[in-house]
Chain A
Amino acid sequence: KNQVEQSPQSLIILEGKNCTLQCNYTVSPFSNLRWYKQDTGRGPVSLTIMTFSENTKSNGRYTATLDADTKQSSLHITASQLSDSASYICVVSRNDYKLSFGAGTTVTVRA
């Protein structure tokens, strides 16, 4: 079954600290993995897209990694800011472009 599991479900960090979110997937055949940021009551906004051959991609303070062999990805947030408070969703695309969504990790950044 095509599953995307994210951990932790939620986390609280202090402003300026770093954090890492995890994503494990069983989606097959794999095409690409995307991380989205979703603010409360808003639509998901793309942070990174990685294909099979890419193992890291950065977007500002966000760095995503991908290990296609172990089917794991992580999203690292550096020097967190209050505006980073959101849900971060891991989405895996199959070769037929069908998307499988994780449940998201809710990040709360506190001053």
Chain B
Amino acid sequence: EPEVTQTPSHQVTQMGQEVILRCVPISNHLYFYWYRQILGQKVEFLVSFYNNEISEKSEIFDDQFSVERPDGSNFTLKIRSTKLEDSAMYFCASRIRTGATYGYTFGSGTRLTVV
């Protein structure tokens, strides 16, 4: 079964450093997403991406965050200057198209720890 692949599975970084989280969505999917889950809390929407541009972003997704689909297969989330509160699991998701019954496929996540 096709999977969304995320790397690395765990990243530790120092406060103020830049991190890039990588995702390879399912190849024929058109819509891409980043979500995060702070330990013990709900999954939160960060950003959606379609047709090589951001289609929607949450208030969490401030100027420190950016997304890119550099080569038609990878989908990256960059955090420019990490803060302690950025520590969370980050999930990438993709879907083939919009529509009520089309499912999101989530990756296994990257656990980001900012120290």
Which of A44, A49, A101, A103 contacts B101 (CB under 8 A)?
Answer: A49
Which of B6, B44, B89, B106 contacts A45 (CB under 8 A)?
Answer: B106
Minimal Cβ-Cβ distance residue in B for A45: B106
Question: Once the chains bind, are A44 and B103 in contact (CB under 8 Å)?
Answer: no
Which of A43, A46, A103 contacts B41 (CB under 8 A)?
Answer: A103
B42: chain A residues within 8 A (beta carbon): 101-104
Question: Once the chains bind, are A43 and B101 in contact (CB under 8 Å)?
Answer: no
A43 to B93, CA, bound (A): 9
Q: How large is the interface on A (under 10, 10 to 19, 20 to 34, 35 or more residues)?
A: 20 to 34
Q: Mark B79-109, 1 if CB is under 8 A from A, else 0.
A: 0000000000101010000101101111111
Among A17-25, A65-73, A92-100, the stretch that binds chain B is A92-100
For residue B35, give the distance in angstroms from its CB to the closest CB of chain A: 8
B111 at the interface (CB under 8 A from A): yes
For residue A80, give the distance in angstroms from its CB to the closest CB of chain B: 23
Q: Which residues of A line the B interface, CB within 8 A?
A: 31-32, 34, 36, 41-46, 49, 51, 89, 93, 97-99, 101-104
Q: Which residues of B line the A interface, CB within 8 A?
A: 4, 6, 41-45, 56, 89, 91, 93, 98, 100-101, 103-109, 111
